[in-house]
């Protein structure tokens, strides 16, 4: 079986949706996902870095992120034809380990937890495909990268792009 490695935040889990709830509450703002189009979060506000860090360091923050639409059924389908690995750069947010693990067990119970890879540098990942919203992870990846569309990467070109999970399904149906 070929292997597909899948990132969590902004691919399986809607990190931005939850972060914006906290951001808007704490900065008394009304930022929508649409307004972030083409932007990195840090462009929103010079004080964002410390606020973001506080959220990331909260061990429960990642426990209730919304699941990306259609990801559960498409990952389940793919798991019948491919070996699925979940590869998250969790070393950037060490407080999140337990919440990320529990989130995967809750929403993707059909996945084998032995295939959860909490890592830093994803170039160590030996898979045929990597679905990720951060193109930097493709630089030294030996397989095929699939750039999952997120507001911060909409202007990036030169990558195979998937806009949502239905497009992921379509991509693999064509192989």
Q: Could you list the residues that contact Mg ion (CB under 5 A)? A: 7, 9-10, 133
Please give the structure tokens belonging to residue 150: 């997120």
Please give the structure tokens belonging to residue 19: 């972060």
Cite the active site residues: 7, 9
Closest separation in Å from C-beta 28 to Mg ion: 28
CB-nearer residue toward Mg ion: 27 or 161:
161
Is residue 94 exposed (0-12), middle (13-18) or buried (19+ Cβ within 10 Å)?
exposed
Closest separation in Å from C-beta 27 to Mg ion: 23
Contact 141, 121 (CB under 8 A): no
CB-nearer residue toward Mg ion: 27 or 55:
55
Closest separation in Å from C-beta 148 to Mg ion: 8
The sign of the dihedral angle between the CA atoms of 107, 113, 116, 118 is positive
CB-nearer residue toward Mg ion: 10 or 14:
10
Q: Which residue(s) pair with 5 in the sheet?
A: 85, 130
């Amino acid at each position: 079986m070929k292997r597909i490695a899948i990132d969590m935040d902004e691919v399986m889990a809607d990190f931005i949706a939850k972060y914006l709830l906290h951001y808007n509450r704490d900065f008394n703002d009304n930022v929508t996902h649409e307004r972030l189009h083409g932007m990195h979060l840090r462009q929103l506000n010079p004080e964002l870095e410390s606020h973001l860090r506080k959220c990331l360091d909260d061990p429960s923050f990642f426990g209730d992120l919304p699941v990306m639409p259609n990801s559960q059924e498409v990952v389940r389908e793919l798991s019948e034809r491919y070996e699925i690995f979940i590869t998250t750069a969790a070393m950037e947010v060490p407080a999140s380990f337990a919440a990320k693990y529990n989130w995967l067990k809750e929403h993707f119970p059909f996945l084998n937890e032995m295939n959860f890879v909490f890592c830093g540098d994803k170039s160590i990942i030996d898979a045929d495909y990597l679905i990720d919203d951060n193109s930097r992870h493709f630089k030294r990846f030996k397989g095929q990268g699939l750039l999952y569309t997120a507001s911060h990467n909409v202007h990036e070109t030169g990558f195979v792009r998937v806009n949502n999970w239905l497009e992921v399904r379509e991509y693999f149906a064509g192989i």
